[in-house]
Amino acid sequence: MTVELEKKIVFVMGVSGVGKTSVGRQLASELSMTFIDADDYHPPANIEKMRQAIPLNDIDR
């Protein structure tokens, strides 16, 4: 017997400050999916810049 598992990935994209994290968390909850925020993969210095609405430059990325 062969069982095929279907995996889904949903990307929520947009400019900064529009609520992507809020929408992503709610969507993941509604769909019983894991929420992963790309901001969690930035170093603390970049996160602080983003909090202060300072754009990241090429070196930051």
pLDDT of residue 15: 85
The full DSSP string for 1-46 is ---PPP--------STTS-HHHHHHHHHHHTT-----GGGGS-HHH
pLDDT of residue 50: 86
42 CB burial (10 A radius; 0-12, 13-18, 19+): middle
Q: What is the mean pLDDT of the chain?
A: 90
Amino acid at 17: G
Please report, in tens digits, the pLDDT of each residue of the chain (61 residues total).
Answer: 677 778 889 999 998 789 999 999 999 999 999 999 988 899 999 999 988 989 889 998 8
Length of the chain: 61
